[in-house]
Chain A
């Protein structure tokens, strides 16, 4: 076995004479790393991450707000469209009602006119019929008088008139 300190005798890990040295420097190292991490590094990185997540959250919130505004605007637009449509519908309905009313009035007027004319015509027809009946009666009376005269029957005019008009009325009836 060589006696050089660079050469291992057995396992260097089990060389207990170096343990105090290693443990001392390990403790120093751990304390230094702990101080560096807990005093400088970790708060700094933690604040960076918190800031970033804060920024991201704020951005997401802003995006959310914009999205909400956009959907609100869309809702307003839709509502306006709906209103306009309803308005148009109403106007159309009103117009239709107006026209319908006008039309009804006109039809009524026309009906009345027609009724009036019909009544007039019927009246005239009745007049004509009456005058025709009178004429028939007249003719019948005259004829009866003539016939009686021919047969030489003396009859009172009044009796002849009565009997003729009774017959004519009865025939007409």
Chain B
């Protein structure tokens, strides 16, 4: 029982730590959106053509956050 509780504790700490990874993804997405906005304000004419690139970039950055969320889920429910 003792060891099981200890294992649970470690698991929950690990789940909490993986949440930091999602914060990293949030920083990345914010960076992309902010840089897109500053670029778009400098050259508004070119902005509409690049929204696809914006979403692709966001998707790539966000995927990594989702990977860390997945690790959290796996720790929480599958391990």
B33 → chain A closest CB, angstroms: 29
A170 close to B (CB within 8 Å): no
Q: Which one of B47-55, B57-65, B70-78 contacts A?
A: B70-78
Q: Does A11 contact B (CB under 8 A)?
A: yes
Q: How far is the CA of A10 from the CA of B79 in the complex (A)?
A: 8
Q: How far is the CA of A8 from the CA of B78 in the complex (A)?
A: 11
A12 to B13, CA, bound (A): 23
Query: C-beta contact mask, A110-129 vs B, less than 8 Å → 1, else 0?
Result: 00000000000000000000
DSSP class of A's interface residues: helix, strand, loop or mixed? loop
A9 to B31, CA, bound (A): 38
> How far, in whole Å, are A14 and B79 apart by their CA atoms in the complex?
11
- What residue of chain A has the Cβ atom nearest to residue B76's Cβ? A11
**How many interface residues does B have (CB within 8 Å)?**
4
Tell me the complex Cα distance, A173–B74, Å. 155
Of residues 18 to 54 in B, which have CB atoms within 8 Å of A's CB atoms? none
Chain B residue with the shortest CB-CB distance to A8? B77
- Give the chain A neighbours of B73 by CB distance below 8 A: 11
Residues on B with C-beta less than 8 A from A14 are: 74, 78
Min CB distance A64 to B, Å, is 28
Q: Give A12's nearest chain B residue, CB to CB.
A: B77
The docked-state distance in angstroms from the alpha carbon of A8 to that of B74 is 13
- Residues facing B in A1-55 (CB within 8 A) are 8, 10-11, 14
The residues of B that contact A10 with a CB separation of less than 8 Å are 77-78
CA distance A57 to B78 in the complex (A): 61
Query: With A and B bound together, what is the CA distance between A36 and B38 in angstroms?
Result: 43
Closest beta carbon of chain A to B72's beta carbon, Å = 11
B78 partner residues in chain A, CB cutoff 8 A:
10-11, 14
Please measure, in the bound complex, the distance between the C-alpha atom of A11 and the C-alpha atom of B74, giving whole angstroms: 7
CA distance A10 to B73 in the complex (A): 9
Q: How far is the CA of A14 from the CA of B73 in the complex (A)?
A: 11
Residues of A within 8 A of B (CB): 8, 10-11, 14
- Closest 4 CB pairs between A and B? A11-B77, A10-B77, A10-B78, A11-B78
Q: List 9 A-B contacts (CB under 8 A).
A: A8-B77, A10-B77, A10-B78, A11-B73, A11-B74, A11-B77, A11-B78, A14-B74, A14-B78
Given A8-B77, A14-B74, A14-B78: 6 more A-B contacts, CB < 8 Å: A10-B77, A10-B78, A11-B73, A11-B74, A11-B77, A11-B78
